[in-house]
A = this chain, B = another copy of it.
Amino acid sequence: MATEGSQSFPPQFREWVEGFASRSPSRFALLVFATLIAVFTFLLSQPFASASGKTTNFADALFSAVSTICVAGLSTVDMATYWSPLGNAIVFTGTQVGALGVLTLASILGAIISGRLGLRARLMAASDTNPLRLHSGPVSEGQAIRLGEVGGLLATVALSLVIIESVIAALMLPSVLAAGYPLGESIWFSFYYSAMSFTNTGFTPNVGGLEMFAGDYWFLTLIMVGVLLGSVGFPVIYALSRNLKNPRKWSLHVKITLVTWAILWVGGVIAYLLLEPENSLVFAGMGPGELTYQAAFLSTMARSGGFNLVDIGQLDSSTLLMTDMLMFIGGGSASTAGGIKVTTFAVLILAALSEARGRSSIEAFGRTIPQDVLRLAVSVGLWGATTVAVGALLVSEFTDAAFEYVLFDVISAFATVGMSTGLTATLPDEGLYVMSIVMFMGRVGTVTLAAALAASQVGQFFRRPEERPIVG
Residues of A within 8 A of B (CB): 110, 113-114, 119, 122-123, 125, 235, 251-253, 256-257, 275, 278, 316-318, 320-322, 325, 333-334, 340-341, 343-344, 346-349, 351-352, 354-363, 366-380, 382-383, 389, 392-394, 396-397, 402-404, 406-407, 446-447, 449-451, 453, 456-458, 460, 463-472
Check A361 against B122 for contact (C-beta < 8 Å). no
A253, A317, A373, A450, most chain B CB atoms within 10 A: A317
**Are B406 and A317 touching (Cβ within 8 A)?**
yes
Q: Which residue of B lies closest to A359 (CB)?
A: B460
Complexed CA–CA distance, A125 and B465 (Å):
15
Given known contacts A317-B406, A382-B348, is B472 in contact with A252 (CB within 8 Å)? no
- Cross-chain contact B470 with A114 (CB below 8 angstroms): yes
Instruction: Chain B residues near A369: list those with CB within 8 A.
Output: 466-469
Given that A404-B403, A467-B369 are known contacts, is A472 also in contact with B457, CB under 8 Å in the complex? no
Q: Please determine whether B456 and A113 come into contact, CB atoms closer than 8 angstroms.
A: no
C-alpha gap A378/B466 in the complex (Å)? 19
Contact A113 B468 (CB under 8 A): yes
Task: Pick from B346, B375, B389, B449: contact of A362, CB below 8 A.
Answer: B375
Contact status B403-A321, CB under 8 Å: yes
Give the chain B neighbours of A344 by CB distance below 8 A.
471-472
Contacting pair B470 A343 (CB below 8 A): yes
13 more contacts with CB within 8 A, not counting A370-B468, A371-B371, are A119-B468, A318-B393, A320-B403, A343-B469, A352-B378, A360-B372, A367-B465, A368-B466, A369-B468, A376-B471, A380-B472, A402-B403, A403-B404
> What are the residues of chain B within 8 A of A457 when measuring CB–CB?
358, 360
